[in-house]
A = this chain, B = another copy of it.
Amino acid sequence: MAERSLLNQLIDALRCLPGVGPKSAQRIAFHLLERDRDGGARLARVMAEAMTRIQRCQRCRTLTENDLCGICASSKRETGTICVVEQPSEVVAIEQATDYRGLYFVLGGRLSPLDGIGPSDLGLDILERRLGEESLAEVILAISPTVEGGATAQFIADRAAHHGVKVSRIAHGVPLGGELEYLDGGTLALAFAGRRDL
Residues on A facing B (Cβ under 8 Å): 1, 5-7, 9-10, 12-14, 16-18, 26-34, 36-37, 39-54, 63-65, 70, 73-74, 87-89, 92, 108
Contact = CB atoms under 8 A, between A and B. Distances in A.
Given A27-B18, A40-B47, A88-B34, A5 B70 contact: yes
A97 to B, nearest CB: 13
Contacts of A28: 17-18
Interface centre among A43, A63, A74, A92 (most CB of B within 10 A): A43
Prevailing SS type, chain A contact patch: helix
Contacts of A87: 30, 34
Given A1-B74, A33-B50, A65 B16 contact: no
